[in-house]
Amino acid sequence: MMQDIERILIARGAISDRVRALAQEITHDITEKGEGAELVLVAVMTGSIIFVADLMRNLPMKVRIQLMTASSYVGKTTASTRDPFVGALPDVGGKHVLLVDDILDSGKTLTRVRDELETLEPKSIDTCVLLRKKIPSAMSVECTYVGFDIEDEFVVGYGLDYDDYYRNFPDIAVIVP
Q: Is 171 in the site for ligand 5GP (CB under 6 A)?
A: no
3-class DSSP assignment, residue 154: coil
Identify the CA nearest to 156 among candidates 23, 46, 42: 46
SS3 for 124? Answer: strand
Q: Would you count residue 54 as binding ligand 5GP (CB under 6 A)? A: no
Q: Which of 54, 101, 102, 105 is catalytic?
A: 105
Q: Looking at 12, 108, 124, 148, which residue binds ligand 5GP (CB under 6 A)?
A: 108
Q: Return the SS3 of 68.
A: strand
CB of 142 to ligand 5GP, least distance (A): 13
With binding defined as CB under 5 A, does residue 47 bind Mg ion?
A: yes
- How far is C-alpha 104 from the chain's CA centre? 8
Which strands, in side-by-side order, build the sheet including 124-133? 85-86, 63-71, 39-45, 96-104, 124-133, 145-150
Residue 39 engages ligand 5GP in binding (rule: CB under 6 A): no
Q: How many residues bind to ligand 5GP according to rule CB under 6 A?
A: 20
How many helices (H) and strands (E) in the chain? 4, 9
Hey, what amino acid is at 9? Answer: L
Number of neighbours of residue 110 by Cβ within 10 angstroms: 25
Site string for Mg ion, 110-149 (x = CB under 5 A): ----------------------------------------
Stretch of 39-47, 81-89, 112-120, 122-130 contacting Mg ion, by CB under 5 A:
39-47
Interface residue with ligand 5GP, options 41, 155, 172, 175 (CB under 6 A): 155
**Is 105 known to be catalytic?**
yes
Among residues 56 and 73, whose Cβ is nearest to Mg ion? 73
147 binds ligand 5GP (CB under 6 A): no
Partner from ligand 5GP, Mg ion, none binding residue 122, C-beta < 5-8 Å depending on class: none
In sequence order, what are the residues at sequence separation of 6 or more whose Cβ sits closer than 8 angstroms to the Cβ of residue 144?
126, 127, 128
